[in-house]
Amino acid sequence: MAAIDQTKRRGFAATITGVERHEWPAVILAFAYFFFVLAAYYVLRPLREQLSAAIGVQALLPFYSATFVATLALTPVYGWLVARFPRKRFVPVVYVFFILNLLAFIPAFQAQGTISPQILGAIFFVWVSVFNLFVVAVFWSFVADIFSADQAYRLFGIVALGGTLGAIAGPLLTKWLVHVIGIAPLLGVSAALLACAVGCILGLIVWSRRHPVARDTRRNEVVIGGGFWAGAKLVFGSSFLRCIALMMLLGDSVGGVLYNLQNDFGHHFYSDAAARTDFFASVDAATNVLMALTQIFITRIVLTRFGPASSIAGSEVVKLLTLVTLAFVGLPGAVAAALIVTRAGSYGVNNPAIDSLFTRVSRETRYKAKGFIDTAVWRFGDVLVMAAIQGMRDLAAAVPALAWLSSRSTFALLAALASAFAIRLALKIRAMPEATRQSSG
């Protein structure tokens, strides 16, 4: 009877969704914010892929290396913004910067016949990769600052679903509009979606003033402070943050291995660009649908019941089993299936769980250390994985006795080993005081 009375007081919507009445405006705005951000990115991604396809897979390592260098160069700029401007100013500024960049690219795409595809492809590949890292990192840092730890566990799964739907809508929008308005105007479409995201940011700032975390009414106006490389210093000085960074690298290893195997699969089994594009689009669509189902039916439940560290460990167990299966199953389609399962687990469970851990730390850590991990550490992982895979393939080609080094089974087992280490790290994080302390201002 008491449980029924409590349900009546909270409301059936709150009981089913976990969202309290006063939280709905923020949840809707954060949901829409992430939808617009990822829709903007996924509108751009096919444009990047068709440019890089003109150069070839061998360009991936130099492209990712250039992206890593660009990320390192821009990290101090991000730190400078955080150190000198309050949240209500610097977060919208980051998005306005990328909107202006997109508008500047339109003339370059209109002049594709006169600009070398190698030059435009290299510049745009690096720019889109940096864009994806920074806009997503800023998003999660921002919403982690808006909500408390308890709210994060209840709400981040729903918020992440907005991004998943944006990831589905973006490529569908591109597929439809490219035949209507052409390639270059799609950059304007992406810019318009980012402008909508800025509107959501402003709405969330207003909501947070009315419902501040820990009753900190000046949260939007406070300057966080610190130097350019404060994020790096925070990461290297904290065992908790080092574990999160290492777990990010291990996850990147799994993704990088499967990304390369997927490209090999597309190259060998699809003879023309249209067929390969259709294959990659099908993998993305299946991944994002599975991710959405995961976020609806699994993420909120496991986060609230078991906590973030245990949720990550459980997701990594599923990845481990998937990768071991891939190592012993010879069917080429198993690569696509493994990619779909592991990506859905990473973006559907792992990312919201890791992001919720940052509600437990200080605001400087939330913006700077998390930004450093999500950008510089992630891109360093890309370069490391690409270089290792290329090195193994070169060695296998030079020494016939080591041909097994470049086999699908070897790569799958190495990725499985990375998942096993990630499980150990997640269990280690679960025992740390930072994973259980109350939300930090």
pLDDT in tens, 214-246: 544 454 444 444 544 677 888 888 888 899 899
pLDDT in tens, 105-152: 999 888 766 777 678 878 888 898 888 877 877 887 788 778 777 777
Domain count, the chain: 1
Across the chain, mean pLDDT equals: 79
Domain assignment present for residue 52? The answer is: yes
The pTM for the full model equals 0.72
Domain assignment present for residue 2? The answer is: no
Lowest pLDDT segment from 55-64, 153-162, 277-286, 320-329: 277-286
Domain assignment present for residue 299? The answer is: yes
- pLDDT computed for residue 273 by the predictor: 45
Range ranked top by mean pLDDT from 18-22, 46-50, 181-185: 181-185
Domain assignment present for residue 14? The answer is: no
CATH number assigned to the domain comprising residue 283: 1.20.1250.20
Cα-based torsion angle of the residue sequence 97, 98, 104, 109 in order, rounded to the nearest 10 degrees: 170
Q: Which residues are within 8 A (CB) of 166 and not within 5 positions of it... i.e. 6 or more apart?
A: 34, 35, 36, 37, 38, 39, 40, 42
Range ranked top by mean pLDDT from 173-187, 297-311, 357-371: 297-311
Q: Fill in the amino acid letter for 29.
A: L
Average confidence (pLDDT) over 262-277: 63
Domain assignment present for residue 62? The answer is: yes
Domain assignment present for residue 421? The answer is: yes
Q: Give percent of the chain above pLDDT 90.
A: 13
Average confidence (pLDDT) over 417-432: 88
- pLDDT computed for residue 200 by the predictor: 93
Work out the burial of residue 196: count CB atoms within 10 Å of its CB; fewer than 13 is exposed, 13-18 middle, 19 or more buried.
middle
Domain assignment present for residue 12? The answer is: no
- pLDDT computed for residue 2 by the predictor: 43
What is the spatial distance between Cα 440 and Cα 417, in angstroms, rounded to a whole number? Answer: 34
Q: How many CA atoms lie within 13 A of 199 on its CB side?
A: 10
Domain assignment present for residue 93? The answer is: yes
For 403, list phi and psi in degrees, rounded to 5: -60, -25
* pLDDT for 290 beyond 50: yes
Q: What is the domain range of residue 225?
A: 21-435
pLDDT in tens, 45-104: 877 877 766 666 677 788 888 888 887 887 777 667 666 766 667 788 889 999 999 999
Which DSSP letter does residue 212 get?
Answer: -
19-53 burial, b if ≥16 CB within 10 A, otherwise e? bbeebeebbbbbbbbbbbbbbbbbbbbbbbbebbe
